[in-house]
Structure 1
Amino acid sequence: MEDRGSYGQFCPVAMASEILCSRWTVLVLREMLCGTTRFNELRRGVPRMSPALLSKRLKELERAGVVVAAPGERGVIEYRLSPAGEDLRPIVLGFGFWGQRWVESQLSLKNLDPSLLMWDMRRNLNPKPLPPRRCTIQFQYPELPENRRNWWLVVDGGVVDLCGVDPGFEVDLTVTGSLRSMTSVWMGLATIRQEVEAGRLELLGDVGLARSMQQWLGLSVFAAETRRVG
């Protein structure tokens, strides 16, 4: 009986697809290519993926020789890409560049997730334009339920932390606007200035932080890709 997971073709495309084309696999690889190594951090990058399915996909990638699992600091298991996994970097990024180039922006903006957006912002934020002191930036999305409305990025000594509950530090800058507006900026579909002038974003607090936000925020790795129309 033919394996339901196999295409039954002796073809490199078919064989690669059997490993990479199962649901969520490419997104797990995306997170690992961004430097994520621990299970709980991987979950933050794919928040709608169940822990059981994530565990299953990681084991599948281990068996395929794409991922290596080994005890890391304090004995916590860390997942790292093998040379075969690293070789997938241009392929996975290629998916993203193609999507940014060809998928209609209004369709992509229907699938908004504050935890994923903030997690992505946390790892791409550039601390160099910020003052050398600790800086706390609060993001407010008024249209969301109260438990998902407020997020804090704390930058201290070049280290960026994301908090979903108030960390208790004095807030230097508050950014208020819709999740759609902030996602548009993050994906390079709009600028901070455009959204502020249109009244879709409001920046309150440290004037220097507000003025330099476009520089320190950083953008999605795919934001620079020019959108095309088919």
Structure 2
Amino acid sequence: MTNYGQFCTVARGSEILGERWTPLVVRELLCGSTHFNEIRRGLPRMSATLLAQRLKKLEEVGVLRRVQEGNNQEYVLTPAGEELRPIILAIGHWGARWIGSRLRANQLDAGFLMWDIRRFAHIDEFPSDRKVVIHFFLNDARQRERHWWLVVANGEIDLCREDPGHELTLVVEASVASLTEIWTGDSDPDAEQQARRLLVRGGRRDTRDLWRWLGRSVFASSKVPVK
């Protein structure tokens, strides 16, 4: 851990929160992930060993606690961890406002994008009287990350990497960059469709309602004056 050698609490807090990956681990916990594998789904490029180290450190400094129930182990934020919520949100809104859509290719992550869509989709907006199955085809992603299925039924939402075999409601084809920019609010579906970077196939009403169902990233509402 970095030691700045200062008594200033900004320095001492940064010694903990400034470590690589730590703010993102806290982000995942704040988003509701409590199991190790859930946290990893939001951090697919972080090794399991390093994640275990960061979780242990956060436990040592009192940001989280481990809860053991039978064979299941959960990571739960303490009051100190919950106090980080406005800080993490502020970093996200600052990034959306002042960094915006200046994404490099190595910052595009199909797995994290789909996981983020899954956990923040507006489940209450989906039809309650039928199952909705959306097949996402990310045409420029790595082969094993090109196909995803979002299944919503009975108030529950699931993200599948294998075809669940249900009748499809919609098919969404896009590049990773295109869907990411829609999700972050840096572009909109109409613009992406006109540019032929996005194709949505399905019934007219469902096609119209798709973006109301999915919503946007929690940071999409931040104004982006810099492009």
TM-score w.r.t. the length of structure 2 is 0.95
Does structure 1 residue 161 correspond to structure 2 residue 161?
A: no
* Equivalent position of 1:206 in the other structure: 203
* Cα deviation digits, residues 129-172 of structure 1 (max 9, x gap): 32221110000011223221100100011111001111111111
Please report how far the alpha carbon of residue 108 of structure 1 lies from its aligned counterpart in structure 2 after TM superposition.
Answer: 5.5
Tell me, in whole angstroms, the C-alpha distance in 1 between the residues paired with 2:65 and 2:105.
34
Q: Does 1:38 align with 2:70?
A: no
Q: Quick check: 1:68–1:81 contact (8 Å CA) kept in 2?
A: yes
Matched residue type, 1:83: P
In structure 1, C-alpha distance between the alignment counterparts of 2:31 and 2:143, rounded to whole Å: 30
Paired residue for 1:196, among 178, 181, 193?
193
Residue of structure 2 aligned with 1:111, choices 107, 128, 145? 107
Tell me whether 190-199 or 210-219 shows the greater mean CA deviation.
190-199
Structure-2 residue corresponding to 1:62: 59
| Residue 113 (structure 2) pairs with residue 127 (structure 1) | no
- RMSD of aligned C-alpha atoms? 1.5
* Residue from 172, 175, 195 that aligns with 1:175: 172
Equivalent residues of 2:131, 2:151 under 8 A apart: yes
**Does residue 1:227 correspond to 2:219, yes or no?**
no
Match of 2:86 among 81, 84, 90: 90
Return the offset for 1:194: 2.0
- 1:207 shift after superposition: 2.1
For the pair 1:81 / 2:90, whether they are aligned, the reply is no
The partner residue of 2:147 within 144, 147, 150 is 150
1:12 to 6, 9, 18: 9
Separation of aligned partners in 1, 2:140 and 2:103 = 20
More off after superposition, 4-13 vs 52-61:
4-13
Structure 1 runs not aligned, ≥5 long? none
Count of equivalent residues: 226
1:228 positional shift: 2.2
Is contact 1:117–1:183 with CA below 8 Å preserved after alignment? yes
Matched residue of 1:36: which SS?
Answer: coil
Pair 1:53 & 2:56 matched: no
Q: Deviations over 1:76-130 (max 9, x none)?
A: 1000110000000111111111111111522356510110000000001112332
- 1:43 deviation in Å? 0.2
Amino acid at match of 1:177: A
Task: State the secondary structure of the residue aligned to 1:211.
Answer: helix
**Range moving further from structure 2, 191-200 or 91-100:** 191-200
Secondary structure of 1:106 counterpart: coil
- % same residue: 47
| Distance in 2 of aligned mates of 1:30 and 1:185 | 21
